[in-house]
Structures are given as structure tokens and as C-alpha cells.
């Protein structure tokens, strides 16, 4: 389960975030490319744009599919 205390600072403020458990598998970026990006320097994903109502389902799908549960949906 993602921990808001360990979220990457690259995440934009809002509900969704990625924490330091990310293994850079690319699933979230493939599932919700409008919302997740890759940090080339750090080798992890982060939320670069919080979802619109139309994108919410894709972010939820990305969270549920994350193999290491690095995506949280309890952000500020």
C-alpha cells in the first residue's frame, strides 16, 4: 500500500501520487499516459497531472494494477 509520507516530490498536489516503492514497470504510464510520467533521472513514475473526471477510471485502473502498490489515492 502506498504511503503518502514516502511520495516522490515530483508528484503534483492532489489525490493521486506515487511513492518510493515504484519499480519503474511502466504500467501506470501505459494505462494513464495523460497523468503519469517517468523521472528519467530517478527511474520511477510520478503523477504529472491529476485526473479529470473522464481520466479518473484510468488512474484507478493504474492504481489497482500496480504490482508493488506504489500508487496512492489519498493525497492532498
* pLDDT class of 2 with cuts at 50, 70, 90: very high
Write out pLDDT tens, residues 13-65: 999 999 999 999 999 999 999 999 999 999 999 999 999 999 999 999 999 99
Q: What is the pLDDT of residue 1?
A: 92
Q: What are residue 45's DSSP bridge partners? A: 38
Coarse DSSP helix, strand, coil percentages of the chain, rounded to the nearest 5 percent: 25, 20, 60
Q: What is the pLDDT of residue 76?
A: 79
Kindly list the domain boundaries of the chain, sorted by start residue: 4-72
- pTM for the model stands at 0.95
Whether the pLDDT of residue 70 is over 90: the answer is yes
Q: Domain 4-72: give its CATH code.
A: 3.30.70.20
Closest CA to 73 of 39, 40, 42, 32: 32
Amino acid at each position: 500500500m502506498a504511503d503518502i509520507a514516502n511520495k516522490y516530490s515530483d508528484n503534483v498536489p492532489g489525490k493521486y501520487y506515487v511513492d518510493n516503492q515504484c519499480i519503474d514497470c511502466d504500467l501506470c504510464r501505459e494505462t494513464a499516459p495523460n497523468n503519469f510520467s517517468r523521472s528519467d533521472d530517478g527511474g520511477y513514475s510520478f503523477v504529472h497531472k491529476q485526473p479529470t473526471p473522464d481520466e479518473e477510471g484510468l488512474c484507478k485502473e493504474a492504481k489497482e494494477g500496480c504490482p508493488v502498490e506504489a500508487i496512492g489515492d489519498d493525497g492532498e
